[in-house]
Structure formats: C-alpha cells, structure tokens
Amino acid sequence: MAHQAPSALAQSLRRAIVMAIVTTFSLAALGGIIVLLGDIESEIAYQVLATTALTGVFSVATFCGATLIGRRGKQFGVITIGLAVLALALALWFVWAEPYDVDLPWKLLVTACLLSACTSVASLILLLVSNRSWTVRIALSITLCLIALGCALSLISIWFQSAWDYEWLTRLIGIVWILAALGVVVVPVSSLLLKPESAAVEPQTDLGEADSDLSAKAVSELSPQSVRRIEEAARLADLTPDEFVDRCLTTLPDSH
C-alpha cells in the first residue's frame, strides 16, 4: 500500500510551529535592534543580544525538526523540537540567572546543546535524502550511527572528567566526528546525484511500437499540474515518481 501524504492535522501542526518560530525570532530580533540603538555597554544589552542570538540558532534547530512533521521520521522530528526547546530554555537560564558557580548546570547545558545539534543535523539529512537506493540507505544508516556514536562518546567526556586521561578516547572521538561530518556532506550529495536503481534499469515489456507510442502520448498529455502533484506526493512518500506510480498501480485490480 502506498504511503499517504501528510494529513491536514500534520500540515496544520507544522504550519503552527513555523509561525511560532517566526514570531518568537522576530520579537527577539526586534529587542536586539532596540538595544543596539541605545546603550550597548550595559549588562541588560548583553542579555538581550544573547537572547536574540540564541533564539535564532535554536529556531533553526526547531525548524529542522518541524520539516519532518507529517513525513517519515516524524517521531524523530518531535524529539528534535523538544531538545531544541530544552536547550534554548537552559541557555536563556544561563544568560539571565547566571548560575556560573554550579558545575551541574554547565553539563546540562552542553549536553542539551550537543543533543539538539546532532538531532537537527540528522533531521536535515533525513529530509534531504530522497534517493532510496540500497547504497544511499546504507550510507545514511552508517552516518546516523556515527553521529550517535560521536554524541555518546562526547557525553562521556563531558560527564566524566577522568575520560580526558585516556588519549585513545580523545583520538577516537575526533575520528568518529570527522567520519560523521564526511557522511553529512556525502550522503545528501550522493542522493541527489545518483540515479535511483528503479530508474537505472530499463523496464522489460512485450509492448509493440504502437503500444509504446500510445503510452508516450498518454504521458505527454499529463498536465504540468498533475506532474507536479505526482512528484510532490512521491517526495513526501520518500519515493521516486516511478516508484510512487508503480506502488499506487499495484493497488488497482488486475485489468487483464
């Protein structure tokens, strides 16, 4: 059975999240502009500007999670949004309450920021990867595993100071993050450049030239609007247009 397009509820939720992001960041930006027009050497000016910057950064992270709402991986998108909101709350707490003399808040803040950054990047990769060939799927899985491993190893070094005594652990963390960064760049690019396997293999049919001409004529008579709707539905289902049409046609009764 073919994948369904996002429901009206999912689209409304995604639209509400985007509007909340735009509104929040606009208010923070307005506050930053007002401060810059006045005394910028006061502590309140620093706090307002820091709030503006942090709101912008975590708005991007929230938007990365919102793009998955209603699509495959929507649960991961919800987690990304939750972590971004949590990290922003902790960061603003540091800006306004200044709990610098306590060690635990620092660790919580760094942990939340790290998790938010990792899930945001992962959400963006899941959104960009449209090619579902087996090579891209394997590369995507390896990249996500490397991000998770790098995040876990980094958290160990954050929460356990003794971890810095092990030189091999520091080297391993660096290698894992380098490979993860490589995957973040290579996987989306490969997804865009590699031709899907289903399209790379020419279909083997017994149609004659007349039937082929008739099929070509039928395809050419599709309106641009219909073509765009098919491409959009295929993209939302994480399939190529050919795969999407083939998946839909398999649900029709046999006409022979």
Contact 84, 115 (CB under 8 A): no
Tokens 């000016």 sit on residue: 45
Taking the C-alpha atoms of residue 134 and residue 110, their distance in angstroms, rounded to an integer, is 36
Q: HSE, CB side, 13 Å, CA atoms: give it for residue 193.
A: 6
**What is the Cα–Cα distance from 80 to 65, expressed in whole angstroms?**
5
State residue 204's pLDDT score: 44
Q: Does position 17 have pLDDT exceeding 70, yes or no?
A: yes
Q: Are 190 and 140 in contact (CB under 8 A)?
A: no
Residue 130 has what pLDDT?
A: 64
Instruction: Compute CA 60 distance to the chain's CA centroid, rounded to the nearest angstrom.
Output: 10
The label of the residue with tokens 């993209």 reads 235
The pLDDT tens digits for 55-95 are 888 888 888 888 888 777 778 888 889 999 999 998 888 88
Quote the tokens at residue 160.
Answer: 């356990």
